[in-house]
Every structure is written in C-alpha cells, then in structure tokens.
C-alpha cells in the first residue's frame, strides 16, 4: 500500500512515500537488504564523528530473539508488530568516546542514522514504523545494554501488507489521510514565534 504525502512543495518521492504503516507482509527481508539498511545508518552524520548509535535486531528466522524483542514492546504495539518480519531497537551512547563526557547530541545523531536507514528501506520497497511504545528498562535488562547507552526507539521493518488484515480501529488509522503542521508554525526567523518570510503565505 502506498500513501504519498500531499505536500505543499515538490519533494523527492522517497520522502513523499515514507510513512509508518502497521500492516506488514510477513515476507522476510533478505539478509543483504538488511545489511544495506544498516550500512545507510552507518554513514549518517554525527557530532565529532562519534557515531553514537547501535541497533539490536531480531528477525523471524530467529524465533527466540524475535520473541525477546517483541517482549519489550507495549501490548498495543506488540499486537501488530508481531507480523513484521524484522524488529529492531536503536540505542544511543550518551557519553563521548574520547573524553567520557555527556554527549548532548547523541539522540539527535541516532535519529539521523535511523532516518537514513528508513530512506534506504523505502528505496528498496520496505517501510519502517518507529515506536516510542516500549519499555526501556525491560529492553536494558533483556539485552544487557550498558549503563551509558540509552534505548531510543523500537522499529518494525518489512514490506507493506494488507490494511484489511488489521483490526477495525487500526485499519481506519492506516487508511486515514496523512496530515502535518504547516511550515509557518515551525520555521522561524529573527525570534521565536516569528514565521520565516520564505514560508509565510
């Protein structure tokens, strides 16, 4: 299923077509394709080239690991994400490698890496649904994540599925029109709350 964004300005198709479905095909993602997604994340920009990201990944061909990953999700997410062929968890290193000081930009950089992963996925016919709905402490214990690393977001990765496979309420959300705030609400110039002239309408 494709759900391109109705953008106000022309955008690249990879951006227009990126969205977060809950209906996934159970077709597995080939290992070489998965490698390409994380290679894309590998080459994301980061402050001082710290590369403060790591990913825990579980595929359905490893049922034990997949069950562990599913177990860190909240029930609402687990109910639909169990159909995706791949689940993952992004993790941020909160301290700099050289000096061990707090890395204020770690979460930003992990988000950048995951964005690149997502666009590579889209280019290969996949979709990614990122989730805040997981238990970070359970994840920490389940996967023995070190104390200076922070679980950031869970994600389901796979090929688009049939919205008809979802329960009614989720199906309605899946088919609903995509919306976003207008540019004038968040692009500012000269001071907070002042809309930048180039986006003013």
Mean pLDDT computed over 137-142:
98
Contact present, 83 and 17 (Cβ < 8 Å): no
Is residue 12 one of the residues assigned to a domain? no
Is residue 194 one of the residues assigned to a domain? no
152 contacts: CB under 8 Å, gap ≥ 6:
89, 90, 91, 92, 107, 110, 111
Contact present, 47 and 113 (Cβ < 8 Å): no
Band of pLDDT at residue 147, cut at 50, 70 and 90: very high
Q: What is the mean pLDDT of the chain?
A: 96
Looking up residue 133, the CATH number of its domain turns out to be: 3.40.109.10
Mean pLDDT computed over 29-48:
98
What is the bridge-based pairing of β-strands 127-131 and 53-59? Answer: unpaired
Is residue 11 one of the residues assigned to a domain? no
The count of structural domains within the chain is 1
Band of pLDDT at residue 2, cut at 50, 70 and 90: confident
Contact present, 47 and 110 (Cβ < 8 Å): no
Band of pLDDT at residue 201, cut at 50, 70 and 90: low
The parent domain of residue 47 ranges over 20-177
Is residue 165 one of the residues assigned to a domain? yes
Write down the pLDDT at residue 98.
87
Is residue 43 one of the residues assigned to a domain? yes
pTM given for the model: 0.94
1 contacts: CB under 8 Å, gap ≥ 6:
21, 23, 160, 161, 162, 163, 174
Is residue 190 one of the residues assigned to a domain? no
Is residue 115 one of the residues assigned to a domain? yes
Token code pair at residue 48? 């001082």
Mean pLDDT computed over 120-126:
97
Is residue 13 one of the residues assigned to a domain? no
Write down the pLDDT at residue 1.
72
Tell me the per-residue pLDDT of 94-114, one tens digit each, with 9 for 90 and over: 999 989 999 999 999 999 999
């Amino acid at each position: 299923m494709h759900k391109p964004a109705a953008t106000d300005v022309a955008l690249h198709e990879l951006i227009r077509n990126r969205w977060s479905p809950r209906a996934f095909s159970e077709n597995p993602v080939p290992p070489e394709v998965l490698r390409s997604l994380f290679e894309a994340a590998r080459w994301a920009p980061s402050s001082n080239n710290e590369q403060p990201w790591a990913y825990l990944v579980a595929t359905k061909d490893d049922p034990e690991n997949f069950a562990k990953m599913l177990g860190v999700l909240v029930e609402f997410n687990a109910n639909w994400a169990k159909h995706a062929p791949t689940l993952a968890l992004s993790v941020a290193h909160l301290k700099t490698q050289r000096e061990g000081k707090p890395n204020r930009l770690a979460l930003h950089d992990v988000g950048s890496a995951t964005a690149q992963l997502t666009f590579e996925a889209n280019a290969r016919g996949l979709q990614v649904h990122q989730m805040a709905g997981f238990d970070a402490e359970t994840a920490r214990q389940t996967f023995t994540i070190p104390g200076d690393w922070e679980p950031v977001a869970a994600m389901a990765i796979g090929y688009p599925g049939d919205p008809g496979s979802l329960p009614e309420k989720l199906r309605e959300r899946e088919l609903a029109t995509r919306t976003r705030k207008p540019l004038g609400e968040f692009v500012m110039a000269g001071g907070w709350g002042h809309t930048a002239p180039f986006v003013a309408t």
